Structure 1
Amino acid sequence: MSGAGTSLEINLTAAIVAMEAGAPCVLVTEAAAPETDAGLPSGPFDPRQHRTFEMGLRSWVREQTALDVGYVEQLYTFGDRGRHMRAGDAGPHIVSVGYLALTRRTDAAGTSAKAGFHPWYDHFPWEDWRDGPPALLDYLMPLLNTWSQESGTSPTDRRARFQLAFGRGGEWDEEKVLDRYELMYEAGLVEESRRDGRKAALARHDVRHLGRSMRFDHRRILATAMGRLRAKLKYRPVVFELMPETFTLTELQRTVEAISGRHLHKQNFHRLVEAGELVEPTGASSTETGGRPAQLFRFRREVVAERPAGLRLGTRA
């Protein structure tokens, strides 16, 4: 596809999430060269081979990771100039159609030697509030505060965005993952900003790397996927796409906490689950808890047909 001398390529990119050892993980593929960042499974859309975008995505994921994904939903189309750089800035302009996919870790056993799951908090360490505000924020906040007050384009807008994204004067909103990453990119605080030649990043000489970078615009796509999944927990039972067939309520709570990045009050969480009629007892118990046997539950799939259902998490514990 081309116009006015510029060719366009459509890429299909998947943020594939699974739970492993109590941590939300994302499937990444190895870089072609050691000095290049790893990234998300991705490949070009070819209308001669792929009837739909989703079929093309599933084909690329299968080829690159040996994984057949289950739950898939389209996120957003990413096409900003300069955020999908190639060597020498040559080649077509890339438009990436991003997807969120969920899989159970046991279903991901077929992933190839060139692909593996990494904890998503390796890429976004400031997003994990399960044990309170991350210590990294003590380093990050002064840098962003200074940047937000610098003279330049719309400094008032900068301050408002900073305060809203990072909960200055209010409560931290776990869904604003992309807003926070975008601010850090604009402020030159992430490696992708330096790699893309942004002036704010090139002007800095004393900023350490904040989170594990990814090739092209893939960390931006992952940020969008994290925010979408965190939001969707509250009105759709998507968390059960990540759970085994049977589980304890404690295991369910820890999964929700790990994804949302926040600690939840145990009794309140159990009441939420019971009130929403999302699960049903199996009649069996687990002895792997290290204490008293814990009752095992399964997802009550009928709830999907009955009504919109999720976990209204309420205020932070």
Structure 2
Amino acid sequence: MRTVYVNGVFCPENQGVVSIFDRGFLFADGVYEVTSVLDGKLIDFSGHMARLRRSMSELSIPAPASEDELLSIHRQLVDKNALAEGLIYMQVSRGAADRDFLFPAGDIRPSLVLFTQTGQLRDRPAAKTGLKVVTLPDLRWARRDIKTVQLLYPSMAKTEAKRRGADDAWLVEDGFVTEGSSNNAYIVNADGALITRPLSHAILPGITRSAILRLATETGLTVEERPFSIEEALAAREAFITSASSFVMPVVEIDGHKIGDGAPGEIAGRLRAIYIDEAVKTAV
């Protein structure tokens, strides 16, 4: 049985509880981060902490603990669960208060919950076969740059993609791809340029995204941060996604159309290998 962390206490997962008045439960009034673990170490931890601070600041949620305390909790969960490879999910909500649409006044203690998930990250079969995606309208709220726990539409999109025989969905707004249901989206055009949407309120500022764009530039790739259309994606040489749990994952089919030759692309594969190598070296 897993050991989890709930508001200051490590406990068995079947004993971890939060209040029914927690605003994360009632209003999705909370934020989260997911940190990958390889070889028992945390990947891109400082980046996740920086984004967590920004998300909490945008919603005026006070920090439930210092960064050093959060690092200690993560490390203790790795040890207590003997986690060699997998994920640590961390959620911070505004806390428990009587149900009211207004943010509660006065001193309210944020809720802090963490748990582990085991899983294969480094050698996922999809990295060799590629993903199939379908496109769906982006019907999420307008502040997608904040990593909130209101994930109902992404869940609906993933479920619809599965129903259509695909692995995931790319979301489209005004004719342009915003991002995947839980990842950032990229294409490589015929000239070999890597294209991905620029940061704005429309997409999440991915931690892996930031690393991949830096690594791509360092390896001599041309990077264009601009919107791309579905038509441009269908004509691309390669396509792929990035996220904390998938690293770099090739996309070989969009809406039933093969991308390139229908096999994982060389650039996506190279970036995945470089990213994993650096991530392991810099893990904490």
> TM-score band (shorter)?
under 0.3
More strand by percentage = 2
Rg larger in 1 or in 2? 1
Q: TM-score, normalised by structure 1?
A: 0.26
Structure with the higher helix share, 1 or 2:
1
